[in-house]
Amino acid sequence: MAKSTIARFTAKFLVVASGENSVENIPMIPGLQSFPGEVIHSSSYKSGKSYSGMNVLVVGSGNSGMEIAYDLAAHGANTSIVVRNPIHVMTKELIRLGMTLAHRLPLNLVDNLLVMAANLIFGDLSRYGIKRPKMGPMILKSETGRSAVIDVGTVGLIKKGIIKLSIFYSSPTGAGEHY
């Protein structure tokens, strides 16, 4: 049985970066209705400029969430991001390589090569709380439609502590584990 922990964040702004291809999906978050700050979906996000010096929580660690967290931090916002699922972090060059190799090699072999290369580039991200899915990035995309996250510099800011992480992985029972 997974343990559950409640995390309290103090932020004036909340960016919800969940959904796919600009289709809003705002998860049911207890207390969201009474949140006194601004709540926007990533599809409405324009720039981090107006958030400079503010505390901002980004919910969702896909490509949009990671890019928004980077932009917010680059504009001087005190940025935290909630990681709700294990993710593969790749470079665009690795994804391009994987797509090229997938035409000639089995996907499980391509996945093994991509994960090894990502480990060389980014190091062990589990030290920061970012877990990789059990499936490799190419098979995951093929079987579930979930894409790897293409890093735009966010990982470097996480490693430096500029972007703070809150990790919340859901267990199969629906209970969550907070790290």
| Whole-number pLDDT of residue 71 | 97
| Residue pair 137/91 in contact by the 8 Å Cβ criterion | no
| Whole-number pLDDT of residue 37 | 83
Beta-strand pair 55-59/89-90 = unpaired
Beta-strand pair 176-178/19-20 = unpaired
| Whole-number pLDDT of residue 16 | 61
Q: Where are the domains of the chain?
A: 1-85+152-179, 88-147
pTM of the model: 0.80
Per-position pLDDT tens, the chain of length 179: 445 455 566 666 566 665 555 566 676 777 778 888 888 888 889 999 999 999 999 988 899 999 999 999 999 999 999 888 899 999 999 999 999 999 999 999 999 999 999 999 999 999 998 999 999 999 999 998 889 999 999 999 999 999 999 876 654 443 444 43
The CATH number that domain 1-85+152-179 falls under is 3.50.50.60
CA distances from 49 to 87, 102, 178 (A): 28, 40, 30
Residue 62 gets the label, from left (phi > 0), alpha (psi -120 to 50) or beta, of beta
